[in-house]
Amino acid sequence: MRAIRHAEANDHVGRNVASFVKPPQGKTGRPSRAMAATAAAALLAAAKDHPRLGAYVILSLTTGIRTEEARALRWDHVDLDGDPDARTPVPPSIAVWRSVRLHGDTKTEKSRRTLALPQNAVTALREHRKRQVEARLAAGELWQDTGLVFTTSVGTPLDASHVRRDFRALCKKAGIEGVWAPRELRHTFVSVMSESGVAVEEIAHLAGHASSRTTETIYRHELRPVITTGADVMDRIFT
């Protein structure tokens, strides 16, 4: 359309015929939902045994990272040991600095954040790393060393459609009714944190939202104004 308008302005065409075409109306997407804490706990239990997507689900649900951030996460941005002996103890953490978006940038500047890991996420990532080493040995020369945490059986990046398919199968295994999408792990994180008494401003900070208004208007399923911390709350709920 822009090219035709430019051509029309420069007298290369007599009329912009595209302006007479009525474009089809897009369909309204399904509103995102959040799982109740009991359903989330069932999903976490089922995810422990999944060889490829288990750690992905556990990490996403207990930290609230976006799906595009999880698929772009690299091992050199994961610290599973921390430094408990430092003057100010450093907990295990992930550096959320990348995404699968164009140029690898996160959605906003505030999306770049370093998050402490709940213990169940640390355990899941350690097991996942062992399984990935085994997959690398099994793949041999076919393995592609991308440095990514979550990959296919030959080391290549996970495709979003494959994640959705495996995630729905995992929800079914956990006994969760309905059709769920991986992005709703993030909504579940926000809602569970809110239900546990975390302030909306703190949730926005953990989720990497540009403002707490985003948290309230898009992710608001349950919000209560009491301040506490992210990883501690998730440990208390799901450990």
| Catalytic (active-site) positions | 66, 107, 186, 209, 219
Measured CA to CA, the distance from residue 117 to residue 59 in angstroms comes to 8
Element containing residue 79 per DSSP (H, E): strand 78-79
Instruction: Return the half-sphere exposure (C-beta side, CA atoms, 13 A cut-off) of residue 26.
Output: 3
Output the six-digit token pair for 156. Answer: 């290549």
DSSP tag of 53 = T
Measured CA to CA, the distance from residue 105 to residue 99 in angstroms comes to 6
Output the six-digit token pair for 190. Answer: 């926000």
Q: CB–CB of 3/17 below 8 Å?
A: no
Residue 93 φ/ψ, nearest 5 degrees: -155, 170
Residue linked to tokens 């899941």: 124
What are the DSSP E strand ranges found in the chain? 78-79, 93-96, 113-116
